[in-house]
Every structure is written in C-alpha cells, then in structure tokens.
Structure 1
Amino acid sequence: MKHSHRIKVLGKEITVRSEADPEHVQEVERFVNRKIAEAQAAVPVGDPQVPVILALMNMAESCLALQKERQGAASQLDEVATRRLLQRLDDVLRR
C-alpha cells in the first residue's frame, strides 16, 4: 500500500507516494540532496539545472555499474550451476 511522504529537494517541498517506510524515504531524500550538493560544489556557477543533471548522471552511472556487476555475478553463478549439473549428469551416466 502506498503512503504519501513530504520531501524537500532543492528547497522545494513535494509529496511523493511510495510503499517504502518513512525512514527509507528520508534516506533517499538525504542521498539525493547530498548528490546534488556535491554536483553544485563541482559546478558552482551558471545554469542551476546543470548540477542536477550532473547529479543524475553520476547516480545513473553508479546504478548501471552495479547492474553490470550484478549481471556478471549472476552469470558466474549460472556457469557454476551448469557445471555442477553437467558433473551430476556425467556421474549418473557413468554408473
């Protein structure tokens, strides 16, 4: 069941709906604000949208890297499981 949560990002207070508990929503809010602050420090002047875009790009890059890492780990697990299954089949066929 989704609940409404009030969050504040870039000085704007908005309501979001989420199934997550309030502590998790606050953790996400803090993370987003921290990443935007880091991007604002890296690009201190100019268009205010640039730090937001930079923060989004950094978060997307991290997300994609984790997805690739996870896919690689899953692929390795599949490979191990396949080897074990083949070994079992060989063992049964040799009897």
Structure 2
Amino acid sequence: MIKAHLVTVLGREIPVRSSAPEEKVREVEAFVNTRIEAIRERLTTADPQLLVTLALLNLSESYLELQGRQDGSNRLEARITSMLEQLDNALQPQGTSLS
C-alpha cells in the first residue's frame, strides 16, 4: 500500500509517497543526507542545488556501475548454463534421455 512520508533533505521537509515500509524510507533519507553531507564537507561554500546535483551524479555513477556488473553476471550465468547443457548432452548416450 502506498503511504505518504515526510523526508528531510538539507533541512527541507519533502512529502513523498512510497509503498516501502517506514524503516526503508528513513534508511533512504539517511543515505541521501550522508552523501550530501560528504560533498558539503569538501565544498563548504557550495549552494544546496549544487550539493544535490553532485550527490545525484555520484549516486547515478554508482548505480550504473552496479547495473553493469549485474549485466555481466547475468551473461556469465547464461554462458555457464549453456556450457553445462552442452556437457550434459555430450555425456548422454545416443538415443537415450534422462527424463
């Protein structure tokens, strides 16, 4: 069920709707604020919009890297499955099946 939540980012309360449990919404809120704060520590005079933009770019980079790893893992899994099927076929006596 989708529920309304208030999250605070850079001191501003933002209403969001999510089907995630309250704990997950708070975890996301804390994660975003931690990322923004890490950037703020390095760029002490940056305006809030720049902080949010840089955090979004950093998170997007991380997401795309993980997505690429997942795609590579899926391709590897498909290749291994194919090789196992080929081995099974090669080891089966001609004219017989296991099923």
| Structure-1-length-normalised TM-score | 0.90
Would you say how many aligned residue pairs link Structure 1 and Structure 2?
A: 95
- Matched residue, 1:30: 30
- Matched residue, 1:12: 12
**Aligned sequence identity (%):** 36
Structure 1 moving runs of 4+ over 6 Å: none
Which range moves more in the overlay, 33-42 or 23-32? Answer: 33-42
Inter-CA distance 36–46: structure 2 relative to 1 (3 Å threshold): closer
Cα displacement (A) at 1:48: 2.9
Is there any run of 5+ residues in structure 1 with no aligned partner, and where? none
Report the aligned-residue RMSD. 1.4
CA–CA distance in structure 2, aligned partners of residues 72 and 46 of structure 1: 37
Larger Rg: 2
- Matched residue, 2:72: 72
Tell me, yes or no, if the aligned pair for 2:6 and 2:14 is still in contact at 8 Å. yes
Which range moves more in the overlay, 43-52 or 11-20? Answer: 43-52
Inter-CA distance 48–14: structure 2 relative to 1 (3 Å threshold): closer
| Structure-2-length-normalised TM-score | 0.87
Letter in 2 for 1:15: P
Letter in 1 for 2:65: A
